Structures are given as structure tokens and as C-alpha cells.
Amino acid sequence: MGIEDIVNQGKKAYADNKDHVDGFLKSDQAEQISDQVFDSAADLAKKIAPDQYDATVDEFRDKADGAVGNEK
């Protein structure tokens, strides 16, 4: 089985379960998990990058967080 087969299986699995996946991505649980993940990633990026990029890191974090969960 090649990588193309794996990708195609993933696409099919998503298509078959799109409603469930989309529902989860807008759930309270997804919001809590995404907040933790995005906050941790932003904190790490701020430690590594120069301070002048902190605002940019926060912008990316907020945009990513807006795509997952149910908080607007």
C-alpha cells in the first residue's frame, strides 16, 4: 500500500463521516482541546522567536482557534 492509497482512504473516510467530523470540530470538547494546543504552540513559538513577533504569533493563534471549536 502506497502513500497515495493511504491518502485516498483518508479522503474516503472523511467523506463518509463528514457530518460527524464537522460536528466534532464545532463542539465544546474541540474548543477546549484546541485552546490548550494552540496556547501551548503559541507559547513555544514566543520562546523561540524574537519578541518582535509575539503579536504575529498571537494573530495566527487566534485565526487557527477561530477555525476550530464553537467560540467566536
- pLDDT tens, position by position, 31-47: 888 889 999 999 999 99
| pLDDT value for 26 | 75
CA 46, 49, 51, 54 torsion: positive or negative? negative
The mean pLDDT value for 47-51 works out to 94
Residue 10 has pLDDT above 60, yes or no: yes
Mean pLDDT of the chain: 86
Question: Please, are residues 28 and 70 in contact by the beta-carbon 8 Å criterion?
Answer: yes
Query: Helix/strand/coil (H, E, C) string of 19-66?
Result: HHHHHHHCCHHHHHHHHHHHHHHHHHHHHHCCHHHHHHHHHHHHHHHH
Angle at 25 between CA 40 and CA 66, to 5 degrees: 55
pTM for the full predicted model: 0.62
